[in-house]
Amino acid sequence: MLSLIIQKIRDAEIKYHRGIHSVALLAVTKNYSAEKMREFYNAGQTAFGENYLQDALEKKAVLSDLPIEWHFIGHIQSNKTKLIAQHFDWVQSVDRFSIAEKLNHHRESFSSPLNICIQVNIDAEEAKSGVSASELQKLATQISTLKHLKLRGLMIIPKIGASQSTFEKAFLLQQGLIEQGFMLDTLSMGMSDDFEAAIAAGSTMVRIGRGLS
Ligand SMILES: *Cc1c(COP(=O)(O)O)cnc(C)c1O
């Protein structure tokens, strides 16, 4: 339930000495209808994450009366970058420069930049999206040159059964970039089964899907 998840986030903030309201909730709605999203919105939730462009556009049309903050968190195909850049406020799954350049180009006519998280393949899994830890700094530097993008931080999807050290590693990568002068305020990590561990390690945004039902 939404209210229960929010309570658990607040409890974890206190338990792990994180600032109150330092952790935002992204409601991941790939498995929820537009009607259900409207219920979440009416209960106070404003940030929603979607994985599939076509589904998201259909829901967005139905919910166009609501000032929702839309996050794209799915795999990005380069021929979809135009619609993604024009319909979302955030893209959390950027893992290569060619995609960032296309998103930047298609955002040119907007007054506000597109918020970006770099997806890091934190457990170096063979079949998973995400830039490797060793390539991260280069990609962050490249993205920072793009005027219509605003680099906000990192996003990770750990492997199944990942340990606390995975979250801690992501936090250290983020800190490393901050020390080099990148102005980052977002560390997007933690899902329904592990968000409290992610909060303990420094997450600023948990992405919850199943836990909302
Ligand atoms: C589906 C999904 C989530 C939410 O996962 P749950 O286990 O349902 O909480 C979070 N992040 C990404 C990238 C997802 O695809």
Cα 172 to ligand 1 centroid, rounded to whole Å: 22
Residue 62 has pLDDT above 90, yes or no: yes
Residue 12 has pLDDT above 90, yes or no: yes
Q: Which of 62-66, 108-112, 124-128, 164-168 has the lowest mean pLDDT?
A: 124-128
Please report the DSSP string for 109-167 in residue order: T-SSPEEEEEEE-TT--TT--SB-GGGHHHHHHHHHT-TTEEEEEEEE-PPTT--HHHH
Residue 163: what pLDDT? 85
Q: What is the CA radius of gyration of the chain?
A: 16
Q: Are 37 and 58 in contact (CB under 8 A)?
A: no
**pLDDT tens, position by position, 121-151:** 999 999 899 999 999 999 999 999 999 999 9
Residue 2 host element (H or E):
helix 2-15
Atom of ligand 1 nearest to the CA of 92: 13
From the list 107, 108, 129, the residue with the least C-alpha distance to 120 is 129
Atom of ligand 1 nearest to the CA of 211: 9
Look up the pTM and report it.
Answer: 0.97
Angle between the 53-62 and 34-42 helix axes, to the nearest 10 degrees? 60
Provide the token pair at 2. 């939404």
Best residue among 28, 50, 52, 157 to mutate for probing ligand 1, ranked by most atoms within 8 Å of CB: 28
Residue 162 has pLDDT above 90, yes or no: no
Residue 32 has pLDDT above 90, yes or no: yes
Residue 44 phi, psi dihedral angles, 5° rounding:
110, -5
Distance CA 45, CA 199 (A): 19
Cα 156 to ligand 1 centroid, rounded to whole Å: 11
Please tell me the total number of residues recorded for the chain in this structure: 213
